[in-house]
A and B are shown apart, each in its own frame.
Chain A
Amino acid sequence: MSKFQFPESIKSRPVYGTLEPRPGKAHLMIADAEGAEAILDLAAQDASLMAHAHIIYIPKGTDFGDKLRALNPAQYYEGPSYDASVQRLRHVLANAHQGLQVYLTGTEGLMGQAQNEAMQAGIPHTSIQTEHRGSVARRMQCVHCKGITEDVMTDPFVCSHCGLNLFVRDHYSRRLAAYQGVCIDAEDPGNVPEPKELYT
């Protein structure tokens, strides 16, 4: 099961949709792990996109690579991590033109970071499509030390930089591509509840 229905939340929390083909001269698709399935679904809706598509895929241990390659996109790249692919992504965006369609799918961390790159390159966030698939782990920023902790699965959690016990807020920054983590025991030091898995 790669689809998850996030509970309704506050206005700053991103809402993900379902990728749909849109008119454009070029199509940039960025996915990690189970996000590959959303790209496959998208291609099934309109196979003609692939003639002008550039797929950037980070498998994270999954094996959808062959299926994606079989779509025959104009360009296909498989990277070992998002960090490894980000220079390529920036180069592609720097040379892109108005009319480029961006499709992001997979984990929130991947979509958020890639969305930020596309925004920096001049695409309004409202016209970047997203579809969540796979892990519900969150990318969290510690509001105190500013360090980012990737793949947070519990609330509260320990900041991987400063070690404070942080609770997970739904307040989300597109610019940081992260949710906000705030010290949970500031008013009662040492009183930290047992971590609970997110959405349970």
Chain B
Amino acid sequence: MSAAPQKAKPGAEQLAVRVSAVVPLNDLVTRFEFQRTDGQPFPTFSGGAHTVVTMQDDGRTRLNPYSLMSDPADTSTYAISVRRDDQGRGGSLFMHTRVKQGDEMTITYPVNLFSLDLRARKHLFFAGGIGITPFMSMIHQLEQSNGNWELHYSVRTEALGTYVDELKYKFPTKVHVYYDDQSQSIPLETLLDGQPLGTNAYVCGPKGMIDWVHATASAAGWPDAQVHSEEFLAPAPGKPFEVRLCKSDKTIQVGENESLLEAIERAGVEAPFLCRGGACGQCETDVVSYDGEFIHRDHWLEPEQQAGEKIMPCVSRFVGKSLELDR
């Protein structure tokens, strides 16, 4: 069919916003609130959704995904919370040091790769540090439908307990907080034992925590389909490398602190993407030829595809003599 041929744009639909508030929460985490510049209401969204924020950093475009942590039913304001990462590639530093109230920015429509299973009899949330953010919107959503939920939240110290006070005040019986510096830890095995059939567990936090919850639940006989996790991979820095893009007939250099996808975009080549975190599969790219080794970091490709067939340029890199991609 070609009733009205329109080329699909890479990425989700964009929204023009103004930063309506910048709220430092503690030494590491700051909340950013947005309102639409056109005065229209925001679309509602589902708990666990994220948005990709475009940052114009001295001629360099950064696109970072952040969980929406405001109330999904509140169409006046979107909010994200950003943890400063001094070792990272600079996106969170840009947000912390450069973004001010009143700034105009572009964010995407909500995209959800970590949604609630609405069939669940009970929702059991495990958060580690900044991993609390998707649960903030999930809790809003469940509170509006009398959902059955419980949160177990692990933080480093009381001072770094992002949203701990608010959560404990609003939901004193449902929220349980564990402080690392007081040698407290989530009693996972006990918590997984005795939950009613149809309980779903959700985990968001550091990779080690996610693996621990999956492994412990699996050993306790939990179905894999009832343990959900979201780990956004920030593209890791790495050694520079060169790539030949066949379709567009260009050879590009991927710098130490940029992803392959960013380098492709910088060269003016349009490439599809959505999450920019190795999870959604949109930017999947065919490998034409290679001499060297891939550093695959995505959650998307099958192992046989990773063996020289495909690459996810949003998070994965390459080390070696030559790489040719079908892009």
Contact = CB atoms under 8 A, between A and B. Distances in A.
Contacts of B223: 123-124, 126-127
Interface in B218-234: 218-226
Interface string A169-188: 00000000000000000000
The B contact surface, by secondary structure, is loop
Contact of A121 (B197, B222, B225): B197
A98 interface: yes
A25 B221 contact: yes
A22 B221 contact: yes
Contacts, number: 57
Interface string A100-124: 1100000000000000000001111
Contacts of A121: 197-198
A25 B196 CA distance: 13
B226 A98 contact: yes
Interface residues of B, number: 20
Contacts of B224: 126-127
A80 interface: no
Given A25-B193, A122-B121, A99 B222 contact: yes
B253 interface: no
A179 B268 CA distance: 54
Interface residues of A, number: 17
A44 B141 CA distance: 48
A122 B200 CA distance: 10
A96 B197 contact: yes
B192 interface: yes
A195 interface: no
Nearest to B120: A122
Contact of B195 (A22, A23, A97, A124): A97
Contacts of B218: 23
Interface of B: 119-121, 192-199, 218-226
